[in-house]
Chain A
């Protein structure tokens, strides 16, 4: 039965996350935007609280590790609203609070999502409780992630890693880094595997932290690997190079994490919409849902357009998560959600700054910050253009050789 309201059983979680965002993240939002690279220690307490919720089951499995597919949950005919939906709803609310702080939350890194997505049960167990960040991008390789140069060479019971990774979110603060490296460059995508490298492993150095446009609370690191040795069973998933499977193994993570980034965009944009609605209301502009936009003020009409776009992005996000919860292939829908939410968040946050004039542009409000924070959401975990490419290939039934 078609129903697109937020699931009844997850509304409590959503509302709790909203309260946490309002009462813990917002009060320190501007502080850590100004103090770039300073560790937001308030988050340790919050992370402990989230761990507690997860332990008790009250969190409904929400969080970075919530993207794990449940293989045998219940009977196949029954529609479930599970951990993927819980995660996007929770993350959207937390990012309504602050995207940069959400990205800095201990044990909620994208590396945790990768471990949840591709690790064996034994690895899940061994790496539980670890805060893992994700290292894919290299100085010469961004969206073209099949072309990475970091190498992993088997030597006895270990792999030896060599290469440089940039744009590693929480790269300095996390306990471990999930690193993409190739076992054999001549074998292309199929040879790319991910390795868990714990902090302090000899040969791994955090070189520097970037100064950024937004999400300044989150540290973005450059990490170098020089003859860095990790145990062979830190390779996530299967060590076999299955050329027929191509990129699928490593890329499966993205099907799960893209809805999470869409959720970040939805949350950030909602923050801008909520405040703008209030500021417009104080300025005497109310939004009337029944009257045609053309008979309302330009500001109200613009707001309606933004809110409609936001709602569409949010529903695409929920769709992608719902499909994952119900064990349906969602690569296209995940990319649709990410593409739509990414461009929506830029448009919404930038237009809200414009609607609110100098109040929006000034650091006196957070609107200008959200307009800076939102930009990364259309870039990381696959840029707008990469998402369009994935959607186009699926819709048109074209291979990556045909549609380059």
Chain B
């Protein structure tokens, strides 16, 4: 029986469980086993040894999370932390960034063009962000963008709009590297926005110094029809402790992270919990995906992880968690706009240079109209993302706007990725051009929860 079960094809290799093998199928399966056996090599039958390139940098097996720095407890437990002020709205419809925002965008755009884009292809293959990219982003103070000045950060008020503009500018360089550089800032922003005095005093210094801690907001879980508002990861109260069990996926730079903010269900409500790496029961496994590879995506497993209830971040009634989910989605929208802009710029110059039938491709309506639609839909994505970000910054309800932005950025963003490859034809399919990477990256927008936060 066991043998038969092993021979059943379903459940592995992307084969649905209902599939069955017929005699030809068994023969082919046996042949495949033989082809995979090292017997061939020992008897010298295989022409050349296959070189297996393992793209995962941090090992393809699960390891305990590395113990990071010791976070010295500080501040007052239970006392509310300082909150960034909302940016007051003037009630004027306006599409002009403030001078500060524009300055920031200019600097980040330069970083994206000069440092991030040139590093993108290699980082995608290596599934890791090069140190100089992370260092450059930290030097610009990107992890502190969502942290107000009073807490050692760089913004005077809730910097959601600045964050959206920065995310867009970074992602125009590369999505994977943008996520890698923004992930620690997501955790810092969460603690600055919802943390108690103790949490802020304990953890924020790790982001304000020269040696910025890697950190990740872990909300996604690996299952079909995943609903971020109903995490399967659980938190149980045991005395003064919380015990966490569950699996989180698509966690950026999880192997490096010294601090996690994890989503879990507590007493029937979703909550956020701060978990330091190295805590017993916490393990991490590389989990490279279709795209966003430079962000070193990992799966984080929590098995009986114990933290104190003081590690609960924000309200335990589900409101903080929902706000966090929305702000993370907003970040992904802003990122998708940056990638879309990269596609638009790239294909625009390509179709003007590439010639067919004696003239540039761009002179054909079938080609030019695809470019026009990319430009139009992209601007729609940008405006809707800005509308949501503007409302969030002003402290208004933005749940509807962010939902619509996410829907639009997922649908139209993916179409832009698809058309980007199509416009380059066969050249779009090979890695000499970046459009295939943008195609892979843009699929992530409707899937990712957490990871980044504005």
Give residues in A with beta carbon < 8 Å to B.
1-9, 79, 81, 85, 289-295, 304-305, 307-309, 311-313, 315-316, 318-319, 322, 333, 336, 339-340, 385, 387-389, 391-393, 395-398, 402-404
Contact = CB atoms under 8 A, between A and B. Distances in A.
Determine which residue in A1, A290, A295 has the highest number of CB atoms from chain B within 10 A of its CB, and name it: A1
A22 to B, nearest CB: 22
Closest 6 CB pairs of A and B: A8-B91, A312-B380, A289-B403, A4-B387, A315-B383, A392-B368
A308 B408 contact: yes
A132 B94 CA distance: 32
Given A292-B227, A307-B404, 16 more contacts: A1-B92, A2-B96, A5-B89, A5-B91, A5-B396, A291-B229, A304-B404, A307-B407, A308-B407, A318-B93, A322-B94, A336-B379, A385-B365, A388-B372, A393-B368, A397-B352
Interface in B111-161: 161
B373 A388 contact: yes
B221 to A, nearest CB: 12
Contacts of B87: 1
Contacts of A396: 348, 351-352, 362, 368, 371
Contacts of B90: 1, 3
Contacts of B407: 293, 304-305, 307-308
Contacts of A307: 404, 407
Contact of A3 (B390, B399, B401, B446): B390
A388 B400 CA distance: 30
Given A3-B89, A3-B390, A79-B92, A340 B376 contact: yes
B92 A8 contact: yes
A396 B345 CA distance: 10
B379 A316 contact: yes
B95 A398 contact: no
A386 B344 CA distance: 20
A403 B390 contact: no
Contact of A319 (B228, B377, B379): B379
B322 interface: yes
B46 interface: no
A290 B87 CA distance: 24
B225 interface: yes
B322 A403 contact: no
A305 B408 CA distance: 7
B58 interface: no
Contacts of B435: none
A307 to B, nearest CB: 6
B405 A308 contact: yes
A95 B344 CA distance: 34
Contacts of A291: 227, 229
Contacts of B437: none
Contact of A4 (B368, B381, B386, B399): B386
Contact of B95 (A6, A305, A322, A339): A322
Nearest to B388: A4
Interface bracket on B: 35 or more
Determine which residue in A7, A305, A339, A388 has the highest number of CB atoms from chain B within 10 A of its CB, and name it: A388
Nearest to B364: A403
Contacts of B390: 2-5
B369 interface: yes
B197 to A, nearest CB: 29
A313 B362 contact: no
B37 interface: no
A30 to B, nearest CB: 31
B365 A81 contact: no
A391 B373 CA distance: 8
B408 A312 contact: yes
B316 interface: no
B372 A391 contact: yes
A8 B396 CA distance: 14
Nearest to A78: B92
B372 A395 contact: yes
Interface in B85-112: 87, 89-98, 101
B326 interface: yes
B326 to A, nearest CB: 7
Contacts of A4: 93, 95, 383, 386-387, 390
Given A294-B225, A391-B372, A311 B394 contact: no
A292 B229 CA distance: 9
Given A292-B227, A293-B407, A312-B381, A5 B93 contact: yes
Interface in B262-317: none
B391 interface: yes
Given A7-B93, A290-B399, A315 B384 contact: yes
Determine which residue in B379, B396, B402 has the highest number of CB atoms from chain A within 10 A of its CB, and name it: B379
Nearest to B400: A289
A312 B383 contact: yes
A308 B411 CA distance: 10
B93 A85 contact: yes
A336 B369 CA distance: 12
Contacts of A304: 403-404, 407
Contacts of B351: 396
B325 interface: yes
A308 B384 contact: yes
B375 interface: yes
B363 interface: yes
Contacts of A339: 372, 376
B92 A403 contact: no
Contact of A312 (B384, B389, B403): B384
A312 B409 CA distance: 10
